[in-house]
Chains A and B, each alone.
Chain A
Amino acid sequence: KAGVTQTPRYLIKTRGQQVTLSCSPISGHRSVSWYQQTPGQGLQFLFEYFSETQRNKGNFPGRFSGRQFSNSRSEMNVSTLELGDSALYLCASSLGGTTPGELFFGEGSRLTVL
């Protein structure tokens, strides 16, 4: 059974640019969550999508957005990049039931903003 796949694994952007990150969940999983991991702030929840609908959102500015497609694949987009957006972006998938289950994380997309 394939795990959670995130692409690209590494990328470098400059301030002001935008970036799109992709996440393919485990087959059969309907929930996809996104987290930002930085040395200073740790792991912070960005948003969760379930059956193409945003089910929850963290405290991030509107520059951070996401979506989920009918096949459960998800993308997140960051516009007008700032230096502070440099981070490891982790995607996690789960079955998405009414009680929190096991989150399966991908290896992440490491974004560097210059």
Chain B
Amino acid sequence: AQSVTQLDSQVPVFEEAPVELRCNYSSSVSVYLFWYVQYPNQGLQLLLKYLSGSTLVESINGFEAEFNKSQTSFHLRKPSVHISDTAEYFCAVSDDGGATNKLIFGTGTLLAVQP
């Protein structure tokens, strides 16, 4: 079965600094990868996804993630964070090659942006 590891439970960072949230997944023949964000007292929102094609995927608010098959990683990066980026970020993988919408989530990384 697929699994997802987010090594950092919390990442404190100052505003306007760069940040990287790490995500590793267990290997599979076909994999779809996602980053979701959860703001306080809200449901999850899709940030970006990798299904196929270019290994670098971007979101509309400046985040990007790179699919690295050899390292089985899908790290999330942003060159300059804002206070409003404070939230919990979840990496997820499709468990069955996309046949259903079952996702395996990591344990989450709390991004705490400080002024």
Contact = CB atoms under 8 A, between A and B. Distances in A.
B65 interface: no
B44 A105 contact: yes
B101 interface: yes
A103 B46 contact: yes
Interface residues of A, number: 28
B57 interface: no
A92 B51 CA distance: 19
A48 to B, nearest CB: 5
A100 B103 CA distance: 9
B44 A42 contact: no
B78 interface: no
Q: Give chain B's interface residue range (CB within 8 Å of chain A).
A: 20 to 34
B41 interface: yes
A56 B98 contact: no
Given A107-B41, A108-B43, A45 B104 contact: yes
Interface centre among A43, A50, A104, A108, by most chain B C-beta atoms within 10 angstroms, is A43
B42 interface: yes
B101 A48 contact: yes
B101 A105 contact: no
A99 B46 contact: no
Interface in B30-44: 32, 34, 36, 41-44
Given A100-B94, A100-B98, A105 B43 contact: yes
Interface in B73-115: 90, 94-96, 98-108
Contact of B100 (A43, A55, A108): A55
Interface of B: 32, 34, 36, 41-46, 49, 51, 90, 94-96, 98-108
Q: What are the 9 A-B residue pairs with the smallest beta carbon separation, nearest first?
A: A105-B43, A43-B105, A56-B100, A99-B98, A105-B44, A56-B102, A42-B107, A102-B46, A100-B98
